Structure 1
Amino acid sequence: MPQPLLPDGRTGSRSYGSTDGPAAAAATPAGQSSAVDTFFHIVCITAGTGILQLPYALRSGGWVGVAYIALAAAISAYTGRILVRCLYHRHGTRLQTYSDVAEAAFGARGRVVARAIKDVGLLGVVGTYIVLAGISIESLVAGTAAGQLGARFWVATSAAAVWAAVVLARAAHDVVLLSVFGTLTTMAMVAIVVALGVGDLAHRRAHPPTKLADPQMAPIALASICFSFGGNLNWPDLEASMRSPKKWDRTLSLATAFVAAVYVCVAAVGYGVYGDDVQSPVFLSLPPGVAVTAAEAMITAHVLLACPIVLTAVFGEAERDLAIGPDARVSRVLLRTATVAAVTATALLIPDFAKLVPILGAVTGSLAVFVIPVACYVRLFRGQHAFSAWEYAWCVLVVAVGLGCLVIGTAQAVADIMRAPIT
């Protein structure tokens, strides 16, 4: 719900903004996130395991996929900015959450739908990350005594590590070190992939063919790339934790541009070296050795470090709705423990959980990251802001891309399950 404005021009903990965006607070509590902290949060959330799929996305769509990366980055930055702008659509107040924005635009039903999409999407991401971490750890310790413990043991161990982090953290600024380490591990992994790929180029006698574009596969390639930029569900909580919210737009744009540059490096090297023979993840195409093992360990660390940051958006809203304040430690621990336990139990009990969640991701991600922010923005600002024909055309393009990701992403996920039926 909106926070009332205090006499000195502040809300209880935030500043308010005009229709031009958030303004800096006159006085904010100490210990909130800086722009640099927020930059690391955004990079850590966005640049996840999707990096390893990008060379394969270029294999599907051709070199034009580099342009798709730029388009997806522009869309992600745009929807992230307008989502936060919607928080300030009513002068003098700030909405707190993604669900508040949906309710302001479409009423109580809009809130229910948006809340369900957001929470299912984020919890699905966390569940997938925990499963992937457990499987990766099992692969890393294969051949040792620890390797005999099985994937389920390592999935549970990964979940325990995530649980410890979310119980200790209260808000986004409490997990900034996780974001820093997560970002650094990702950059190290990228450096290894690029270095090994370039090094392998010199030793390969035959270079597999590449293509400029494949119109038939273009939608699939674009959908895959757009999903690699999904992270907007966390943006209201990240912006709320900033010491200077007026820096949000610039911080988001810089972080998204940085992620796009990293994506282009990995995609171009992977596809340029291995061409239409490149596999997904790209690790499978690299020459085996210690470096590849190290890179796999780094991506495992990244997904574990990203989980607590992703969960802040779920817990932040749930705790506000249940009136669980920062000092209600027991209630907060119980809620967070129950949530992580439910996600972990689902991951352990459902066979091939990592194949089921992409269906949820295709549905929730496309709607929550692309379609809903644009719909809310147009609904809330059409009476305050004169939309140009170009702006309307851009909004239509974003929604079209989102709906395309919904249809194609869901079809891909179902086809993947059909190729390897769940037993």
Structure 2
Amino acid sequence: MPVPTLIRRVLNRSNTLADSNDTPNGPVSPMPMPSATFNAADQDAGIATTAQFTSNFPDSSPIYEAPTTNADGDFTDSSSIDGSDIKMPMVEDGEKDVIEDITRLESQGGEQEPVVVRQGQPARNAGFLRSFSNVVCIIIGTGCLQIPYAFAKTGWIGVIIVVLSAFIGGYTGVLTIKCLYYQQGHRLHSFPQIGRAAFGRWGQYATQFFNYLYSLGTTCLYIILSGQFIYQLLSTVGVDLSKKVWMIIVALIIWIPVAILKQMSEAAVMAIFGLLASVVVIVVATVMSIAQPYTKMYPNEPPPGEDVAIAIGIPVALSSIVFSYSGSVVYPHVEASMRKPKQWPNVVYTAMTFCMVCYLLIGVSGYWAYGDLVVSPVLDSIPTGAPATIAKVMITLHVIIAAPIMLLTFFLEVEEGWQINAERLGKKREFIVRLVYRSVVVALVCAVSLAIPYFADFLSLISSIACVTMFAILPIVCYLKLYGHKIAPWYEKIWMAIVLVIGIIASIWGSVDAIKSLIRDVQEGGS
């Protein structure tokens, strides 16, 4: 479209808006219908008069309604003004954003992007900070405390692995959301639906297995670790309660937000607090490692060893570092709550970069201070005292906060599949059903955590399989299946192959390491 023509239409629509209601948020008068007669310049630009604003979204589509293109390539929209259909000329790709911005400013008074949500779907009201906090709160957890120990296994080459894993996490996070939108005019809502779209029913079952195993299994691990941390902190001050009692108390604490929160966007405050708790832990561990290295704590002992690269330890450390970046099961639900879903690549890459910086800080400082004598978690390597106690309290709070967010990913998918919503059941009945089944799931997760004495090692085995698969393997495989291998240039295919190899190695070696730990604990009789 010629630029003068576009400017003329903008001015015409602006004049119409000025003649409408004088209130800032008042209704906008319909734009005058375009004339059936066009000049030669318009005809040369290929402008048509029959491009009607329609909706491509089927009634069963769970996606918010947004502009799409129809089969003929015309730009279409489901919006209308005053209930009437308005015919607009077809525009070129480079001009669509301009028209969208004008329409948005007219309809919303320039305040924010309009959000239209289908019944039963979460409101798209989460901004960048909320979405960023949700992703980081899930990614950064107890995994950050294992990074120095991973460096002890790999040597300084672990720095490269940390950086590489961050790029992999950002890349596969973007591919995951692309898979949700593979079908024009329709959005899938979960990883299992991606698996079904790519590989049929068995693909759905396999994806559900990995997805639910990761969500519920990681929650079990959080309950176990929280109970252990609280027991260690309070047993020193005379509180005589066993680890299992504290695990039950932790499960009850987790149950409260699980029962109250309905959607991922409602967990924003929890996620932001969990993010701050993680930052405190990393800062404390980094500062204490630098201020109190091993040579200062034990001046009469020989200094610990450091290596540039330890080839035999790279595969095992790779699995633990990859696990520290995992949060793929949450991504579809975080993106579904975003006010501006086009910002998702920025959200996921910013989150990965933030995590990478945090991991490098705690990893480099911990390995520099304690070398091959560093233990996991690194908080057990730094001197005991107020800083170490504060760090343990904060990591415990973070784990307790992250568990409900992790469970929400499972609950939202179940509620979507079973249609547990107010539109079908009514508000009161929907609340009761949701409360009962969520409470039952929390109780079962707590029972499993209490019943299996070697569950931490067993869960490490499951996580190496499920978590790494969801992180590095399934997003690429499903993306290639849904879009076809021709969608990616040759250099991106090489990168995909590298990521797949890294994922497979991390999964296999992580499983082997977990099996060895499990066998060792069984032989020693457990703790």
Normalising by the residue count of structure 1, what TM-score does the alignment of the two structures yield? 0.93
Are the aligned partners of 2:63 and 2:187 in contact in 1 as well (CA < 8 Å)?
no
Deviation at 1:27, TM superposition (A): 2.4
Equivalent in the alignment of 1:365: 467
Give the partner amino acid of 1:44: C
Q: Which runs of 5+ in 2 are unaligned?
A: 1-54, 70-92, 101-112, 118-122
Tell me which moved more, 210-219 or 77-86: 210-219
Deviation at 1:208, TM superposition (A): 1.8
Aligned positions, number: 413
Match 1:33 to one of 123, 126, 131: 126
1:412 aligns with 2:513: yes
Query: Relative contact order (C-alpha < 8 Å, sep 6+): which is higher?
Result: 1
Match 1:401 to one of 502, 510, 513: 502
Distance 1:309 1:88 in 2: 24
Q: Report 1:10-159 matches (<5 A).
A: 13-15=64-66, 26-28=114-116, 32-146=125-239, 148-159=240-251
Give the partner amino acid of 1:54: I
Are the aligned partners of 2:319 and 2:464 in contact in 1 as well (CA < 8 Å)?
no
Q: Which runs of 5+ in 1 are unaligned?
A: none
Deviation at 1:92, TM superposition (A): 1.1
1:347-388 superposed Cα distances (whole Å, 9 cap, x missing partner): 1111122221111111111212211111000111117x5322
1:282-319 superposed Cα distances (whole Å, 9 cap, x missing partner): 11210111110110111111110001111121001100
Runs of 4+ in 1 over 6 A off after TM superposition: none
Match 1:338 to one of 440, 456, 470: 440
Distance 2:126 2:393 in 1: 28
Q: Report 1:295-334 matches (<5 A).
A: 295-326=391-422, 327=427, 328-334=430-436
Give the partner amino acid of 1:396: A
Match 1:387 to one of 481, 484, 488: 488
Are the aligned partners of 1:355 and 1:413 in contact in 2 as well (CA < 8 Å)?
yes
Are the aligned partners of 1:16 and 1:94 in contact in 2 as well (CA < 8 Å)?
no
Distance 2:515 2:403 in 1: 25
Give the partner amino acid of 2:494: A
- Alpha-carbon distance change, 381 to 151 in structure 1, aligned in 2, over 3 angstroms: same
Distance 1:369 1:184 in 2: 24
Tell me which moved more, 262-271 or 291-300: 291-300
Deviation at 1:26, TM superposition (A): 4.5
Equivalent in the alignment of 2:476: 374
Equivalent in the alignment of 1:254: 350
1:318-339 superposed Cα distances (whole Å, 9 cap, x missing partner): 0011110153100111111111
Match 1:183 to one of 260, 268, 275: 275
Distance 2:371 2:62 in 1: 55
Are the aligned partners of 2:136 and 2:275 in contact in 1 as well (CA < 8 Å)?
yes
1:151-180 superposed Cα distances (whole Å, 9 cap, x missing partner): 111000000111111110001111111111
Deviation at 1:400, TM superposition (A): 1.0
- Alpha-carbon distance change, 144 to 272 in structure 1, aligned in 2, over 3 angstroms: closer
Distance 1:17 1:397 in 2: 34
Distance 1:270 1:347 in 2: 30
Deviation at 1:396, TM superposition (A): 1.1
Deviation at 1:14, TM superposition (A): 4.9
Equivalent in the alignment of 1:163: 255
SS at match of 1:216: helix
Distance 1:56 1:102 in 2: 35
- Alpha-carbon distance change, 199 to 12 in structure 1, aligned in 2, over 3 angstroms: closer
Give the partner amino acid of 1:133: S
Q: Higher helix fraction: Structure 1 or Structure 2? A: 1
Give the partner amino acid of 2:211: K
Are the aligned partners of 1:17 and 1:93 in contact in 2 as well (CA < 8 Å)?
no
Normalising by the residue count of structure 2, what TM-score does the alignment of the two structures yield? 0.75
**What percent identity do the matched residue pairs reach?**
30
Equivalent in the alignment of 2:108: none
Q: CA RMSD in A?
A: 2.1
